[in-house]
């Protein structure tokens, strides 16, 4: 769970809020991929309390929501160029953001289910009915 939250934090800072901010402030900035594995190793999220990570992410998300609410139609059309995938428009990044979050929400829920499964005893038989 901690690793997923750490990834969401870095994705918020680098991949969504950060990328969108640079794209609206600069003319077609060049965006380089970031080494997610190295960043995760440096963050050492497994040593932190999950609530601390959650609160960090929520603080970043609040800032991001303010940015999204402030975007103008012209800013939605602005683009950056990503070194791996090519041109990215702000409006496309907003859609990816939703998809990315939901994917990791599903991952977090599956992690919780996996933790409780061995302790369910005969209750496991309810699953799939």
Other Cβ atoms within 10 Å of 55 Cβ, number: 12
**Average pLDDT over every residue of 71-93:** 97
Crossing angle of helices 2-10 and 90-116, rounded to 10°: 170
For residue range 9-32, list pLDDT tens digits in order: 999 999 899 999 999 999 999 998
> Is 23 in contact with 78 (CB distance < 8 Å)?
yes
- Total-model pTM: 0.86
CA-atom Rg of the chain in angstroms: 18
**Rounded CA separation 22/12 (Å):** 13
Please, what are the domains in the chain?
A: 2-115 (1.20.120.450)
Does residue 37 have a pLDDT over 70?
yes
pLDDT at 1: 87
pLDDT at 129: 61
pLDDT at 101: 94
For 71, counting Cβ atoms within 10 Å of its Cβ (0-12 exposed, 13-18 middle, 19+ buried), the class is: middle
* 104 contacts: CB under 8 Å, gap ≥ 6: 4, 7, 8
pLDDT at 128: 75
> Is 90 in contact with 77 (CB distance < 8 Å)?
yes
Q: What is the mean pLDDT of the chain?
A: 95
For 11, counting Cβ atoms within 10 Å of its Cβ (0-12 exposed, 13-18 middle, 19+ buried), the class is: buried
């Amino acid at each position: 769970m901690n690793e997923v939250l750490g990834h969401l934090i870095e994705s918020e800072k680098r991949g969504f809020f950060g990328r969108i901010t640079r794209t609206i402030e600069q003319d077609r900035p060049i965006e380089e991929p970031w080494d997610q594995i190295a960043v995760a190793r440096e963050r050492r999220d497994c040593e932190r309390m999950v609530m601390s990570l959650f609160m960090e992410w929520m603080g970043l998300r609040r800032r991001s929501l303010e940015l999204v609410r402030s975007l103008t139609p012209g800013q939605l059309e602005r683009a950056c160029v990503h070194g791996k995938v090519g041109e990215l428009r702000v409006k496309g990044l907003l859609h990816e953001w939703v998809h990315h979050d939901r994917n990791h929400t599903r991952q977090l829920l599956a992690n919780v289910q996996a933790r409780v499964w061995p302790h369910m005893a005969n209750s496991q038989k309810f699953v799939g009915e």
